[in-house]
Structure 1
């Protein structure tokens, strides 16, 4: 075969192959177009957070009316927020908070946090419940002076100062004249009991739950100790700064005793006649002396002593000396 013919044949075959490839490429369907669509990430599920239903300040005790649940997105929930899943868990959390108070003010609708709450018996609780401008002062007491342990934190009492007979010096040389100096006076009126010894538990309200519903921390269980009355060595009272100074001085000169007041005293005082209240306040400041209490000592201090005759001997001489004779 001639060289020219061979070249033409190879060229024809190459052209045919190229034509076939081009035709195949033209007949192939175009590749599918990839459409990229932005999909929004699913929103985080909401959580229920415990908030205050009204403005709360230190000294306000948490109760059911002070709490409300609000839904917040999980991104807005902080670690120190109070959350619970399920109705039962939420009710349990409310019972645990019952009776707690605030370390700082919390506005209505603001989520409550663990560090904003303080419970009875914890450091800072007494300072939180103390009325602004008032002072907490402790006075010594015993079984009798504390009404056999029947006074509880939260009660209102009067404080009575009575002079100690053993600490008095006889004002005269007359026998039994010490009794004439005995006196008592109510020096502080209508003050709130904050603590007995170091216990402030009963000043905070407690939830009325059955024993199986009580929280594990035992913060809401004071009824178990209601039947066990203890004697106390000190009582802490909420008083004015001036009354705190009076009590500090009074306990150095006599015995202090608390007198429990009725819970209705405040209601009666609101509706009483102002003149009657003034008369009651005046009479309560009067000093009660031994003669106002009993007449058993009447006349003893002024009783004339019988003269005492003492015989004396000096050698052979005999004489007598009369003591206690009227001048």
Structure 2
């Protein structure tokens, strides 16, 4: 074998060895797949009218109180939302509005939560529920829970008066107190329809409440008959309707002085009267000590 053949065989062996080493390295470290760029689907949004800060009932709206915020088409499809594409001048139209229901920052604005009024319309008329009346009467810290009653709270109105009647030919008087109206919405204390954020109480001399026409008459009659006071109800009763207990004895004009008959002393509650008529009374009779 000559030198040329030896060199050819040696070169072939080197090539074969290199190929073997390369194949081993490829089997140990497989090639890493290159990531494929995936373009995200574009989400379409629209601008919705929202509150830019927390707002309380009775507050007058300024242009800075409202603004536009991007919402997806699905979220913005809620009925009642104001879209900038359809209502571009909504902020300008609501700048003199009055808040009817409290709103928090970022909450979408609904027409039912804002009363759209012009500068000549009073705030009280805008706050009233359709068909209701605003009625005022005097209060004091002693009759209004020391000032803890605030606008938009719910209260019971109590009437306290002295009733006079005759019993066994003698004139007898009795002080009676009972609720003549329950779950009444407070509209204002004095001339304030909103609460000062830095105060937790509102001392005033006049309370304005929301009542129906017939309940307003009852309140005015109660104011003439005796003393009115308020009891505060909890937040769980915020949605309860106003209720006037029927047949309240303290409102009965026939219980005043000048009655010809000898009526029984009036009970403090109509429920007591109904219970006394419905439940029979047991009577024990004693004869000769038996």
In which range does the TM-score fall when normalised by the shorter chain? 0.3 to 0.5
User: TM-score, normalized by length of structure 1?
Assistant: 0.41
User: TM-score, normalized by length of structure 2?
Assistant: 0.45
